């Protein structure tokens, strides 16, 4: 008996065939993993099961019965719940309000807050999902927000729960807790669809696996009868090197240093709390940490985008505290930002205007008053060639490139300034393996050219494979510094949850 059957699903978006005759069968009471690279069509498939998209072709069966899912309402009616990759929570409402939203208990004409709180408490106790029912979402940590999302599906009586990349925002320890919850849910008879591209997690938690690539199913596997190499082959269609090779390289003098840096976030709370470190030329320093522990604010402060409360920043020994982005760029700093659509690109600008951003006022792009369009066009052509940006159209709008090509434009623009110090934040978020490999190589090339590099990433594998030194950040502080060859993922994971290096080593 299958809990979910999706047969021959076809879903087209303008210019993309997101799902190409996809068939997936999920047994009742199992944890079924759907793996694939970004853009393989996993989320699209699940969004159709939850009624957010509608399939162009194909049929869906729930518990053997054919259903049409016109919207989330129908999905909920069929016992389907979904925890999205980006949480679907209303920040200004409380946990209880968020859980009951859309199926609120009422008393007469009024919304019954008392019952809502009690219902949420009951569910939370029954499944061991600890939450603070009266806290506002904006005030609780990510892990708790995820538990709220799971309670939301349970409150609506879901028997089939879709978890879309649930571990992306968690520390290794929180991932274990989540797996504990998933096992508990499975034991109580729930069916779980678990989307991931992290193979070791899939191996640990799932019963069966469906692998997708480029919109198609490329493999259906029993977890107990397979191994990560086989899954990876189905995922990318070839044997994969799971790590780039890093040549040894002797770092030179210190190019960048911060001392006792304190920075506040948008809400006025301290986000970076007295951090000090330095970066030498020809060295990659990685900063590991769970999202939201002050990395974004740290990067913004370093690059002149955010006010510094106290502490100092030195560039080649010179105090540059309080310099604006333009001044810092003039000194030889470049920045590949974590959010390419927010900071990195201007979607409405053509490629040729995007690649001169930050240097537009300088020769050869202008004389300070008038732009030199011929020079700009030629430079853009060269850059697109060198960094393999497709399509090779210099007047293509920034927003019309694919994610990988947008990132190549940004990376190319920053690297071509020949920076002495390069800040790289989440450089491969949402990219496919080919693009990731290309960008990693570019970063290593900069290292061999003796640029100092600060790498901030949520992907521990990326940090481990690129960094010469790793700093672990937790709640705005550095928990410790380790060398990748002298530590383990587990050790770094512990530091990411707030254990200082000394405690971790003491055991």
Size of interface with other proteins, in residues (CB under 8 A): 55
Q: Which of residues 167-196 bind other proteins (CB under 8 A)?
A: none
In whole angstroms, give the CA distance from residue 492 to residue 44: 33
In whole angstroms, give the CA distance from residue 23 to residue 52: 18
Residue 114 as a binder of other proteins (CB under 8 A): the answer is: no
Place of tokens 């310099």: 323
Q: What is the token pair recorded at 267? A: 């809400």
In whole angstroms, give the CA distance from residue 338 to residue 317: 27
In whole angstroms, give the CA distance from residue 33 to residue 186: 13
In whole angstroms, give the CA distance from residue 485 to residue 286: 13
Q: Which is nearer to other proteins, 34 or 162 (CB)?
A: 162
Q: Which of residues 82-101 bind other proteins (CB under 8 A)?
A: 82, 84, 87-93, 97-98, 101
Q: Which is nearer to other proteins, 366 or 465 (CB)?
A: 366
- Beta carbon of residue 329, minimum distance to other proteins (angstroms, whole number): 5
Q: Which is nearer to other proteins, 380 or 467 (CB)?
A: 380
Please report how the helices 142-155 and 172-187 are oriented relative to each other, as an axis angle in degrees rounded to 10.
10
Q: Which residues pair with 62 in a beta bridge?
A: 4, 65
Q: Which of residues 354-373 bind other proteins (CB under 8 A)?
A: 357-358, 360-361, 366, 368-371
* CB of 271 closer than 8 Å to CB of 263: yes
Q: Which is nearer to other proteins, 105 or 219 (CB)?
A: 105
Residue 76 as a binder of other proteins (CB under 8 A): the answer is: yes
Residue 200 as a binder of other proteins (CB under 8 A): the answer is: no
Q: What is the token pair recorded at 219? A: 């493999």
Per-residue x/- marks for other proteins, 7-46, CB under 8 A? ------x---------------------------------
Helix (H) or strand (E) holding 255: strand 254-264
Cα separations in angstroms, 405 against 73, 245, 284, 398: 37, 23, 24, 9
Q: Which is nearer to other proteins, 24 or 345 (CB)?
A: 345
Residue 232 as a binder of other proteins (CB under 8 A): the answer is: no
Place of tokens 């990685």: 286
When binding is defined by CB under 8 A, the residue of 182, 199, 345, 422 that contacts other proteins is 345
Residue 52 as a binder of other proteins (CB under 8 A): the answer is: yes
In whole angstroms, give the CA distance from residue 243 to residue 257: 29
- Beta carbon of residue 361, minimum distance to other proteins (angstroms, whole number): 5
Residue 140 as a binder of other proteins (CB under 8 A): the answer is: no
Which residues of the shown chain bind other proteins in the complex (CB under 8 A)?
Answer: 13, 50, 52-54, 71-73, 76, 82, 84, 87-93, 97-98, 101-104, 106, 109-111, 152, 303, 305, 324-326, 329, 335, 337, 342-349, 353, 357-358, 360-361, 366, 368-371
């Amino acid at each position: 008996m299958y809990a979910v059957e999706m047969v021959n699903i076809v879903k087209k978006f303008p210019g993309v065939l997101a799902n190409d005759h996809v068939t997936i069968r999920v047994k009742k009471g199992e944890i079924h993993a759907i793996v694939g690279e970004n853009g393989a069509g996993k989320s699209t498939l699940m969004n159709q099961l939850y009624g957010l998209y509608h399939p162009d072709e194909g049929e869906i069966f729930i518990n053997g019965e054919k259903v049409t899912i016109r919207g989330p309402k129908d999905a909920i009616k069929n016992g389907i719940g979904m925890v999205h990759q980006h949480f679907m929570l209303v920040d200004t409402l409380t946990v209880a309000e968020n859980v009951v939203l859309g199926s609120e208990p009422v008393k007469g004409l009024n919304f019954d807050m008392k019952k809502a709180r009690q219902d949420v408490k009951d569910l939370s106790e029954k499944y061991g999902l600890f939450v603070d029912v009266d806290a506002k979402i904006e005030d609780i940590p990510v892990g708790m927000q995820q538990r709220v999302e799971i309670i939301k599906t349970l409150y609506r009586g879901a028997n089939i729960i879709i978890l879309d990349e649930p571990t992306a925002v968690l520390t290794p320890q929180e991932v274990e807790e989540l797996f504990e919850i998933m096992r508990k849910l499975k034991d109580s008879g729930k069916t779980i669809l678990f989307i991931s591209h992290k193979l070791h997690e899939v191996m640990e938690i799932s019963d069966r696996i469906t692998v997708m690539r480029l919109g198609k199913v490329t493999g259906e596997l029993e977890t107990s009868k397979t191994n990560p190499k086989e899954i990876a082959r189905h995922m990318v269609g070839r044997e994969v090197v799971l790590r780039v090779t890093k040549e040894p390289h002797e770092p030179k003098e210190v190019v960048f240093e911060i001392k006792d840096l304190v920075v506040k976030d948008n809400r006025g709370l301290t986000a970076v709390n007295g951090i000090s470190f330095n970066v030498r030329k020809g060295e990659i320093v990685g900063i590991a940490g769970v999202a939201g522990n002050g990395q974004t604010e740290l990067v913004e402060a370093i690059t002149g985008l955010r006010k510094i409360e106290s502490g100092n920043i030195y560039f080649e020994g010179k105090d540059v505290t309080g310099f604006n982005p333009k001044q810092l760029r003039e000194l030889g700093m470049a920045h590949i930002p974590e959010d390419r659509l927010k900071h990195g690109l201007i979607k409405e600008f053509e490629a040729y205007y995007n690649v001169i951003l930050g240097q537009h006022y300088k020769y050869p792009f202008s004389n300070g008053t008038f732009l030199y369009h011929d020079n700009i066009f030629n430079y853009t052509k060269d850059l697109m060639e060198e960094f393999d940006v497709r399509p090779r159209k210099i007047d293509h709008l920034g927003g019309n490139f694919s994610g990988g090509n947008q990132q190549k434009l940004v990376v190319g623009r920053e690297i071509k300034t020949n920076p002495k110090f390069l800040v790289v934040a989440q450089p491969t978020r949402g990219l496919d393996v080919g693009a990731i490999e290309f960008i990693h190589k570019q970063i290593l090339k900069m290292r061999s050219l003796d640029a100092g590099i600060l790498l901030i990433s949520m992907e521990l594998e990326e940090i481990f494979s690129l960094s010469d030194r790793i700093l672990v950040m937790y709640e705005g502080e550095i928990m410790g510094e380790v060398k990748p060859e002298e530590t383990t993922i587990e050790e770094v994971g512990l530091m990411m949850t707030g254990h200082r290096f000394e405690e971790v080593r003491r055991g």
